[in-house]
Amino acid sequence: SRPYNVLAMESSCDDSAVCLIDRLESGPKLVDHRKSTLNSAKEGGIIPIDALAHHLQQLAPLVQSMLEENGRPKIDLVCATQGPGMFSSLAAGLQVAKGLAVAYNVPLIPVHHMLGHLLTPRFFTNGQSPTYPFLSLLVSGGHTMLVLSASVTSHRVLVDTIDIAVGNAVDKCARSLGLVGNMLGKELDEFCRTGDVAQIPDDLNFPLPLEKRAAASSLAFSFAHYASIMPRVSKKFALDPLEEQPEEIRRAIGKRLQADIFHHISRKTTRALNQLVEDGVIPKTQSIDFVCAGGVAANSVLRSTLETLKSPVPLKLHFPHLEWCTDNALMIGWAGIEMYEAGIKNSGMAAVPLAKWP
C-alpha cells in the first residue's frame, strides 16, 4: 500500500540510468535520478562489449551514491529493464537489480523498455495525463510504431516499420551529412535549426515510401531508403561527397530530409486514425490522448508536424519533456509501478534478458 519507495534502473543500450521514486497517495514523486552515457562518438556506433563494461563500471556506484545522498531510504520495490535491447547491457542491469531485491527482500519488476517510453507521460500528473485508451507514437533508435493501449497489459501495434527504425535512419543520415556525436538525431535537429541554409533544387525530395498503388493503403512505416539514398545525394549535384559540401548545402539537405521523414510518419498516422474511426474502435465525437515518446520524440520538426496532423478526431498531444524522451530510469520505475499496482506480482528473480521482445 502507498506510500512506498521505488528504485529503478535502465541499461538496455548505452545509458546507465538509476532513479528513486516516492510513490505517494497523491501521485508519484521523483526523488532523484542519475545517468551516465557511454561515449561512443569516436567509434561511430555502440559496441556491445564496451556498453557492458560501461554498465559494470557505472551502475552499482550510481545506485550507491544515490542511496547515500538521499539518506538511505527504505526500498519497497525494484524495477529494471528486461528488454528489448542489447543482451549484455540488459543482463548487467538485471543482475544489479536482482541483488538489490534480494538484499531488501522486495519484489523485482522486469519492465519492457517500450512500455516505459509509452507510459512516461502518465507519470506527470498535472491533471492532464493520458488516460486509457490512448494512442502512442513510439519513435526511437530501435522502434517506430503506433500503438493503441487499452490498459497497462493490453497494447495493439497499429503501424510498425517494415525495415529499420526512424532513429536508426536519422542517425545514419546525420553521419552521411558529416555530423558527429553520441546522439546524432539531436545533432541533426540542432544543425538544421541554426545557421544559413542554401538554395537546393526543389526536386531534391526524398521519395515517400509505401505510397504507390497497393502500398498506399498499407499501415506500415519504412525508413531504410532514407539512409541508403543519402550517400547518393551528392551525385545529384555532381559534386564532392556529401560530408565535404559547404555547411549551408548540408543544412538544406538535412532540413528536406527531416521534413520528408516526418511527413511520411504523419501520413501513415493519419491513415491509421481514419481506419480506427472507420472500424468504430475510437469514437469520432470524442478526443483521444496521443503520446509521442522515445528518443526521436525530442525532434522539433516531428513535434510541429504532429501539431498540425490531419486527424478525423481531435488529438490531445502529449510530449514528454526532452529529458524524459531519451532513455532514462524514471520511465522504467513508472511502468513498474503501473504493473505492480495492476497486480502483476510475478517475481523477476529468474528473469533473463530479452534482446528481442515484441
What is the binding site for ligand KG4 (CB under 6 A)? 13, 140-142, 167, 170-171, 183-186, 189, 294-296, 298-299, 326-327
Candidates 14, 15, 187, 327; binder of Zn ion (CB under 5 A) is 327
Q: Rg for the chain (alpha carbons), in Å?
A: 21
Cβ-proximal residues to 322 (8 Å cutoff; 6+ apart), any chain? 298
Question: Which residue's CB is nearer to ligand KG4, number 158 or number 261?
Answer: 261
**What is the nearest approach in angstroms of ligand KG4 to the Cβ of residue 118?**
11
Residue 144 or 176: the one with the smaller Cβ distance to Zn ion is 144
Q: 3-state DSSP call for residue 186?
A: helix
Question: Cα–chain-centroid distance for residue 306?
Answer: 16
14 lies in the site for Zn ion, by CB under 5 A: no
Q: Whole-number minimum distance, CB 34 to ligand KG4, in Å?
A: 16
**With CB under 5 A as the contact rule, which of the stretches 21-29, 35-43, 175-183, 321-329 interacts with Zn ion?**
321-329
How many CA atoms are closer than 13 Å to the CA of 28, on its beta-carbon side? Answer: 24
Q: Which entry of Zn ion, ligand KG4, none binds 186, CB below 5 to 8 A by partner kind? A: ligand KG4
For ligand KG4, the closer CB: 110 or 142: 142
CA gap 138, 143 in Å, rounded: 7
DSSP line for 31-62: EEEEEEE---TTTTS--HHHHHHHHHHHHHHH
Which member of 140, 144, 234, 258 binds Zn ion (CB under 5 A)?
A: 140
Which range of residues in 172-180, 216-224, 265-273, 322-330 is near Zn ion by CB under 5 A?
322-330
Q: What is the DSSP letter of 194?
A: S
> CB-wise, 78 or 183, nearer to ligand KG4?
183
For Zn ion, which is the closer residue by CB, 14 or 338? Answer: 14
Which lies closer to Zn ion via its Cβ, residue 48 or residue 207? 48
Q: 12 and 114 in contact (C-beta within 8 Å)?
A: no
- Of the two residues 189 and 327, which places its CB atom closer to Zn ion in the complex? 327
- Cβ 302 to ligand KG4 shortest distance, Å: 7
Provide the total of helices (H) and of strands (E) in the chain, helices listed first: 9, 11
CB 267 within 8 A of CB 306: no
Q: In whole angstroms, give the CA distance from residue 336 to residue 180.
A: 35
Smallest distance, ligand KG4 to C-beta of residue 300, A:
7
| Minimal distance, residue 42 CB to ligand KG4, in Å | 16
Place of cell 561515449: 39
Task: State in angstroms the smallest separation of the CB of 140 from Zn ion.
Answer: 4
Least separation, in Å, of the C-beta of 125 and ligand KG4?
23
Residues with Cβ within 8 Å of 206's Cβ and at least 6 positions away in sequence, in order, are 225, 226, 229, 256, 257, 260, 261
In the complex, the residues that contact Zn ion under the rule CB under 5 A are 140, 327
